[in-house]
Chains A and B, each alone.
Chain A
Amino acid sequence: MSLDKKQFLQAYRTMRTIRDFEYRVSDEFGKDNIPGFLHLYAGQEAIATGMCMNLSDDDYIVSTHRGHGHCIAKGGDVGDMMKEIMAKQGGSCAGKGGSMHIAAVEKGMLGANAIVGGGPPLIVGAALSAKTLGTDSVGVSFTGDGGSNQGTTFEAMNLAVVLQVPAIFMFENNGYGEGTAAGYAVGSKDIASRAAAFGMPALKVDGADIFETYKTCKKAVDHCRSGKGPIAIEASITRFRGHFEGDAQQYRGKGEVKRLMKDLDCLKIASDIAISKKLATKGELKTIDKEVAVYIDDAATAALAAPSPDVSELLTDVYSSAY
């Protein structure tokens, strides 16, 4: 059930791709090459990766304002994503969405969502499609600890149980919703334990360990695929960056970020385990690092060079046909 060598190398590559993507995007934001707001997924890579490795293009995910990692893990085209975030032609959403609405609909990534709690109801619908159409697809909503407190999330969890749809509610507890601690805002202190009250099982996992997230997500996906209805997961993790790029983070304790970045670095944890288990050599991982660096640099270079969308696009795609 655990990752074999090939799977591990794939997981490592995906996590590295997300990390490098986020750091590059942060750099470009600093150089004024990216408009708008930016919420980075750095630090949380093992969660999206562990989940999406268990999914195919026919499965659905919905994401949050912190959606780049989910999109990459689900197979979104990194070049198109980079263009989208830089508001360029050829972007995944034609330049109309941006970072907070990154999507890869053709890959089953139904979209990042800038309304906290917007996603969970949508995934119940995607899971309902799967059930009604008799496909064996499952739906996964990624939600934060903050989003776990929204009424929409509670309603979606209840509805998923009532309808017995194959939906997975993945809660990424990174300790904060903006500048408010999960320990304050989640009244029960524990997100996973709420699931039982709705009538669905829940799993908990260390979100920094790809071996664990993969295994736990596999259990959840198997549960849904075998027709047992919805399930929840709470993955504990931290975010390496501020809530948004530019966040001064005064609400975090002294030295907290530094310490957590050292202790909870999923890439470091993954390489240490893999090397000790002889799933990979240092050299193999270095090669992946180098390949990913080139891959991200190519994507960024192409995006920087791409033209802005043409103003004539303003009124296209408001409706399905001429209006």
Chain B
Amino acid sequence: MPIKTYRQAINEAMAQEMRQDSTVIVIGEDVAGGAGCDGERDAYGGVMGVTKGLFPEFGEGRVIDTPITESAIMGAAAGAAQTGLRPIAELMFMDFLGVCFDQIYNQAAKFRYMFGGKAQCPMVVRTMAGAGLRGGAQHSQNLTQMVTMVPGLKVVCPTNAYDAKGLLITAIRDNDCVIFVEDKFLYETSCEVPDEMYAIPLGEANFLREGTDVTIVGISNTVNKAVAVADRLAAEGISCDVIDPRTTSPLDEESIIESVEVTGRLVIVDEMTPRCGIAADISSIIAEKAFSALRAPIMKVTAAHSPIPFAPALEDAWMPQESDIEVAVRGVLGYRP
């Protein structure tokens, strides 16, 4: 099977869907690049090159460069989705959610319900999240928690190239507004990705490692850190179940509960601020639904409750690190009532 990067997998999902469904369009800032310029078109293909090549194949009618105008991009995508298109709208950095959130959470998310089931909003918001690139307080956040809390939105956080392709295909075909959160750290990572189209259902977790002592749930790139920790601890005879929920909405509660019923211990990792976050959410679900299975308090490994600092030393301290996950795993294992 061919090896592809996360970036290529996402690009391929879009290209293949666009080939077979002429209502799929891509809209955003510099998704091609070079509009109105003397130099080359498709100069960027998105700031991370993820949409590169779509413009030459599908043209400016379907790969639409916009001014810097996130509210109007998201609103236009929602309006177009309500009226027959399937837009993939790019929000360059997830931090910019602040600029356009109304069009997503008061508009796109609510059409179907508010209008008595008579409207729909089949759009995808592709966005990029994650700290560690020293992007500072306004270019580093993962705001998955903010979209996950909104009824009507679905939220996908792919953690490898294979999942990214299959989940994006599902997201594009889905009849609801799906927020597709790409982790900046993963674009260069690669794995086997089939050339043909395949769809991975939303709401089905992936077990990356199977074990019996501790369950580790990780969101976005933190799950890859969890795998690294689990592999190291395996050498000491500590056996971890590592679960990648893949989508935070819908959330595959069943898989996490089943795992905790075996291990009795749960560590949840996300790279978001700790209050009202995904780790807190999963923790409350497990405390409520699998309380009797727990042999230790649930441990959350999250970022710190602060804006994201610029200085590398501070940002590294802000982010959950593998060592923090390891401490948490040892902590739940060593817990004595």
Residues on A lying within 8 angstroms of B by beta carbon are: 35-37, 87-88, 91, 93, 95-101, 113-117, 146-147, 149-152, 176-187, 248-254, 256, 308-311, 313-315, 318
Contacts and interface: CB of A to CB of B under 8 A. Distances in A.
Given A177-B68, A178-B47, A311-B313, A114 B136 contact: yes
B38 to A, nearest CB: 3
B274 to A, nearest CB: 12
Interface in B30-67: 30, 33-41, 43-44, 47, 65-67
A309 B311 contact: yes
B310 A98 contact: yes
A248 B39 CA distance: 11
A176 B133 CA distance: 25
Nearest to B310: A98
Given A96-B311, A178-B33, A251-B37, 19 more contacts: A35-B134, A36-B135, A36-B136, A87-B134, A87-B312, A98-B134, A99-B136, A101-B136, A115-B99, A177-B68, A180-B30, A185-B36, A185-B68, A253-B37, A308-B311, A309-B309, A314-B306, A314-B314, A315-B304
B284 interface: no
B69 A150 contact: yes
Q: Interface residues of B toward A: which range?
A: 35 or more
B305 A186 contact: no
Nearest to A154: B69
B307 A95 contact: no
Name which of B70, B95, B310 has the most chain A CB atoms within 10 A of its CB. Answer: B310
Nearest to B44: A179
A115 B98 contact: yes
Interface in B56-91: 65-72
Contacts, number: 167
A251 B43 contact: yes
Interface string B265-307: 0000000000000000000000000000000000000001111
B39 A116 contact: no
B139 interface: yes
B104 to A, nearest CB: 14
B138 interface: yes
A150 B135 contact: no
Contacts of B183: none
A151 B134 contact: no
B317 interface: yes
Contact of B311 (A95, A179, A185, A187): A95
Nearest to A182: B36
Contacts of B197: none
Contact of B68 (A150, A250, A253, A318): A150
